Structure 1
Amino acid sequence: MTVTIYHNPDCGTSRNTLAMIRQSGVEPTVVEYLKTPPSRERIVELVSAAGLSLRDAMRKKDTPYEELELSEAGVSDDALLDAIQAHPILLNRPFVETPVGTRLCRPSEVVLDILENPDIGPFTKEDGEVIIDAEGKRLV
């Protein structure tokens, strides 16, 4: 199974998502999107496949989103794509692609919906939140 994660190693949600993918038995292709930003076309493909609008796929916290006045009415998708290209941190993360589907995995356990083997056994996030208990029951 081919799985690709658009990953930021400084992001706990992204690290948790990557850990769940690996715990499912898959070693994904990891694209550190801040070092290797996806093309405009690739961003549009990811966002569309995830069923989101471009604006919904943008990260606002700890980014230049407000400073660039991207929240203003009338800002076009082309202008949003220009901003993401100039500031890749504006693209929310992690996006994950699998043969089952594509999702923006926020929260990280969303990835379980698109893994071919979602029965990953017990899993606890970095912050201590239990996602799957010792009996294999998904709690979230």
Structure 2
Amino acid sequence: MSFVTIYHNPKCGTSRNTLALIRNTGVEPEVIEYLKTPPSRETLVELIARMAVPVRDVMRSKEKLYEELALGNPALGDEALIDAMLAHPILINRPIVVTTLGTRLCRPSEAVLDILPLPQRAAFAKEGGEPVVNEQGERVAGR
């Protein structure tokens, strides 16, 4: 069985679509609802390092709290931003998926297709009806 973990928010459509794409491979991932069970500092730092992205790219800059805490201030360093995400997990962008092929912030949800070790088993459309995978389990052009 393939190892897949998703840091998930069930209230987020992108997160739900990503989880459904994972399950469409026949894998039941480890689902971590990060708002209920936030990652430790060590885990968050490791996830960011594995994604090889700036810390700011993992923050939900559209979240009201981001503005309230003035987290857009370029003078704030990575440690301060990580502190904010640990204190307020809603600031962590989602979903983050970890597989044997990599770790990725899956926005848009079809970004998960690049790191899933198993192929899609059936056609898949996002909750809004937008097709992502065809009947042959192949990514729809432009996705």
**TM-score with structure 1 length normalisation?**
0.95
Cα distance in 1 for partners of 2:23, 2:61 equals 28
Cα distance in 2 for partners of 1:79, 1:122 equals 43
Match of 1:92 in 2: 93
Cα distance in 2 for partners of 1:118, 1:82 equals 37
Contact 1:20 1:120 in 2 (8 A): no
* Equivalent position SS for 1:65: helix
Contact 1:59 1:90 in 2 (8 A): yes
* Equivalent position SS for 2:121: coil
Match of 2:78 in 1: 77
Match of 1:19 in 2: 20
Greater mean deviation of Cα atoms: 37-46 or 59-68: 59-68
Q: Is 2:31 aligned against 1:30? A: yes
Give 1:96's aligned amino acid: V
Which runs of 5 or more residues in structure 2 are unaligned? none
Aligned structure 1 segments of 4 or more residues deviating by more than 3 angstroms: none
**TM-score with structure 2 length normalisation?**
0.93
* Equivalent position SS for 1:66: helix
Which runs of 5 or more residues in structure 1 are unaligned? none
Deviations 1:3-22 (A, max 9, x none): 10000000000000000111
The root-mean-square deviation of aligned C-alpha atoms, in Å, is: 1.1
Deviations 1:44-98 (A, max 9, x none): 1111111211111111123411111111121011111111111101010000000
Cα distance in 1 for partners of 2:4, 2:64 equals 27
Match of 2:67 in 1: 66
> Between the two proteins, what is the percent identity of the paired residues?
59
